[in-house]
């Protein structure tokens, strides 16, 4: 397990003045995100919380290197981000498994891109599947699995690349409440085991309270960082403790203004 950088003083991800304009130089140009300053420490669990359409997913795509920032710079362990890399794995809301591959072939997909041998791939897939508790499903096809299992396979696929940062774009949003609870516990175990930093996008306050070391609250349109809230709750967490309740109340208040503002804007557009 690559845990040597866990207590390193170097930051995993550093964003300075990061912004993104979609379709620049066209009449449809639209500023999604602006002025983001954010440092993420190695092994830290950071939740990005904000109303829908506030650009928090955009920030994830910029850090993943799938899109280029139109303002500012992003550094990853000291090097500027200039494109996608297997050190930064992205996990999506919807199942993104390849339906024509079996579970283990999906998990080993990244290794096959690198040209690893079948034995190597199988061994790596087995290890990653063991970490998510799905060894028994390795020869199944994705459509034979439940939504929660599919997301666990997606996590295994990301882990098989031994990433230093896991970027998660509302990964549990399509799951029912009970499964989501299970998946949150599962994710915390995986995160502790892997030593990777996690950047987790959600609009669920409960999820932020349960998972985060820090919560980054976004404003809406364009996305800016409104404030960063430390989550002091000890792990394992009791969601019903008075401290959790207080944090939930604080985050709810912070979000309410933004949601109200977004609603007002939408009503204004309707006229």
Partner 1 sequence: MAEIAPDQGRARGASLRARLRPTFIAPDRLRAGLRSVGWTIASLGLFALIWEFCWLMGWSDPKLLPPPHIFLGDIPNQIQFFNTATRWAVGVSQAEAPSGLQSLVTTVLSTMARVIAGLVIASVLAVSVGVLARYFRLFDRLTMPTIMLLSSVSPIAWLPVAVFLFGIGNGPAVFMVVIALFFHMVLATVTHIDNVPVNLIHVARTMGATKRQVYLRVIIPAILPAMLMVLRLNLFGAWMVVLVAETTGVGHGLGQIIMLARNTFNPSLVFFTIALIGALGFLTDYALRILQRRLLYWLPEKGTRHAL
- Which parts of this chain interact with partner 1 (CB under 8 A)? 64-66, 84-86, 88-90, 92, 94, 96, 98-100, 102, 109-110, 112-114, 126, 130, 135-141, 143, 157, 161
Helix axes 118-131, 177-194, angle to 10 degrees: 120
Question: What's the closest the beta carbon of residue 109 comes to partner 1, in angstroms?
Answer: 6
Question: What's the closest the beta carbon of residue 232 comes to partner 1, in angstroms?
Answer: 33
Question: What's the closest the beta carbon of residue 79 comes to partner 1, in angstroms?
Answer: 15
Q: Counting beta carbons within 10 angstroms of the beta carbon of residue 216, is it exposed (0 to 12), middle (13 to 18) or buried (19 or more)?
A: buried
* Contact (CB, 8 A) for 139 and 104: yes
CB-nearer residue toward partner 1: 80 or 83 = 83
Question: What's the closest the beta carbon of residue 131 comes to partner 1, in angstroms?
Answer: 13
CB-nearer residue toward partner 1: 79 or 139 = 139
Question: What's the closest the beta carbon of residue 271 comes to partner 1, in angstroms?
Answer: 33
CB-nearer residue toward partner 1: 76 or 255 = 76
Beta strands in the chain (DSSP E): 13-22, 30-40, 45-49, 71-76, 79-80, 88-91, 165-169, 197-202, 214-218, 225-230
CB-nearer residue toward partner 1: 7 or 98 = 98
Count of C-beta atoms within a 10 Å radius of residue 101 = 15
Phi, psi of 176 (to 5 degrees): -75, 165
Count of C-beta atoms within a 10 Å radius of residue 210 = 23
CB-nearer residue toward partner 1: 137 or 209 = 137
């Amino acid at each position: 397990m690559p845990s040597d950088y866990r207590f390193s003083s170097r930051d995993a991800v550093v964003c300075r003045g990061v912004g993104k304009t979609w379709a620049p130089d066209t009449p449809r140009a639209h500023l999604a995100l602006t002025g983001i300053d954010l440092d993420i420490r190695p092994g830290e669990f950071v939740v990005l919380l904000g109303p829908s359409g506030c650009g928090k997913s955009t920030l994830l795509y910029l850090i993943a290197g799938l899109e280029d920032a139109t303002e500012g710079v992003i550094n990853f362990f000291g090097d500027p981000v200039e494109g996608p890399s297997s050190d930064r794995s992205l996990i999506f809301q919807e199942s993104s498994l390849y339906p024509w591959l079996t579970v283990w072939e999906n998990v080993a997909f990244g290794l096959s891109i690198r040209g690893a041998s079948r034995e190597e791939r199988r061994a790596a897939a087995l290890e990653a599947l063991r970490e998510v508790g799905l060894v028994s499903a390795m020869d199944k096809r994705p459509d034979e699995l439940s939504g929660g299992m599919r997301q666990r396979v997606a996590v295994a696929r990301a882990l098989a690349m031994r990433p230093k940062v896991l970027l998660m774009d509302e990964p549990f949003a399509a799951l029912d409440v009970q499964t989501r609870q299970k998946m949150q516990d599962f994710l915390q175990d995986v995160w502790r085991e892997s030593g990777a930093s996690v950047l987790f996008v959600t609009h669920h306050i409960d999820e932020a309270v349960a998972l985060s070391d820090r919560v980054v609250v976004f404003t809406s349109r364009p996305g800016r960082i409104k404030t960063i809230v430390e989550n002091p709750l000890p792990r394992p967490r009791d969601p019903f403790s008075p401290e959790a309740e207080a944090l939930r109340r604080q985050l709810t208040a912070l979000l309410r203004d933004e949601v109200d503002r977004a609603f007002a804007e939408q009503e204004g557009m309707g006229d």
